[in-house]
Amino acid sequence: MDYSTRSTSARVREWQYLTGRDFAEMDRARTVALVSCSPLEVHGPHLPVITDNWEAEGLALRAIEKLSARFDDLEFVHLPPIYVAADVVPQPGSVMFRPTTILRVLEDLGRSLAKQGFRHIWVSSFHGGPRHFVPIELAAHRTNERYGTKMVSVFSLMIARLTNGGSDLKNVLGQLEGLTPEALEGDTHGGAVETSMMLHLLQKAVDAGYRALPRKTVDAWVEAQGEPPLSMSSLKELMRGFKHKLKFFERESYTGQPGIATPELGEQMLERLADEASAALADLWTGDLDPADCHSPLWKYRWLFTTPAVGQLFERAIGYRSQVF
């Protein structure tokens, strides 16, 4: 599937193919600028490194199809994906950037679009690293304050509504036919969820060996180290969990159980998430939801994830050494 020629019922125009005349005639008051920002990152031995961007694109485009059916005069202009991202699996094949780079890239993008008259800017992602999505939130916040735009991180809005800040979707997708929440326990990267979605979105790029991969989770690994279970009950626990996840991914490249994935499950998952995204974005479009209310639960700790000195001290304290940066 090539997203530049993807068949869709939504009123979407691809930015890179538009002319000066197209932009001159565009009604920016009724147009949303849509862009995905997710990494090139290793997702196990079976998924392509472009997985997060394909998922971000697939989810966003399916959500706006649903929105187009509801709002007759809503238009979209779709920019090419950006792969500037932090908190990638630290193994060869991943491409990593500093959180400050993400912040600058998205601030520059927001400023460029705002100066051209775009008020509505939606940034899609499908990457749960807090040093990735929190800088996107901060860039959107700064753009909105300076230019009066309504720029939001769609991923942050989604996790605020669905998972209270985490990347575990067991309670969101575990009720789908053929699944249980227990089957998706700890499934946060390259497991059944992402493998199913990629089997649906880009099956030809998924290695058939996924069926034989054993179940692995961060929680099981933490337990094997003699540590108590992870939680998000406090800032201290949040940082402990962040530490163990970084150390886990020095050794492993996926979590969950890829072997139970199917294309049919992937389609169901995409529909379920797109329903949630379109409902939230509809509220944003109508003004029932303010961009200031679209932050993730980690927004209150944003200094932890966007201040370079804090990140460096934390990595030094836990002995973390990225293999790709």
Reported as a single tens digit per residue, the pLDDT across 59-78 is: 999 999 999 999 988 999 99
Report the CATH architecture of 3-318. Answer: 3-Layer(aba) Sandwich (3.40)
Tell me how far apart the alpha carbons of residues 210 and 60 are, in angstroms, rounded to a whole number. Answer: 26
Say what the pLDDT of residue 167 is: 64
* Residues in CB range of 53: below 8 A, 6 or more apart: 36, 38, 39, 40, 81, 83, 126
Average pLDDT over the chain reads: 91
- Lowest-pLDDT range, 195-209, 228-242, 295-309? 228-242
**Backbone region of residue 34 per phi and psi (left: phi > 0; alpha: psi in -120 to 50; beta: other values):** beta
- Lowest-pLDDT range, 6-10, 165-169, 209-213? 6-10
Burial of 219 (0-12, 13-18, 19+ CB in 10 A): middle
Say what the pLDDT of residue 10 is: 58
- Lowest-pLDDT range, 22-31, 148-157, 229-238? 229-238
State the pTM of this model: 0.91
- Lowest-pLDDT range, 2-6, 10-14, 192-196, 211-215? 2-6
Enter the DSSP assignment of 9. Answer: S
Say what the pLDDT of residue 239 is: 79
| Percent above pLDDT 90 for the chain | 72
Closest CA to 254 of 314, 203, 212: 212
Mean pLDDT of 201-219: 96
Tell me how far apart the alpha carbons of residues 75 and 202 are, in angstroms, rounded to a whole number. Answer: 26
pLDDT in tens, 107-128: 999 999 999 999 999 999 999 9
H, E, C per residue of 77-134: EECCCECCCCCCCCCECECCCCHHHHHHHHHHHHHHHHHCCCCEEEEECCCCCHHHHH
- Higher local confidence (pLDDT), 226 or 280: 280
User: H-helix or E-strand containing 75?
Assistant: strand 75-78
- Higher local confidence (pLDDT), 314 or 156: 156
- Lowest-pLDDT range, 46-50, 53-57, 79-83, 217-221? 217-221
Mean pLDDT of 18-24: 96
Give the strands of the sheet with 75-78, arranged side by side.
12-14, 75-78, 31-36, 120-124, 150-153
- Higher local confidence (pLDDT), 15 or 171: 15
Query: Band of the pLDDT at 229, cuts 50, 70, 90?
Result: confident
- Is the pLDDT at 146 greater than 70? The verdict is yes
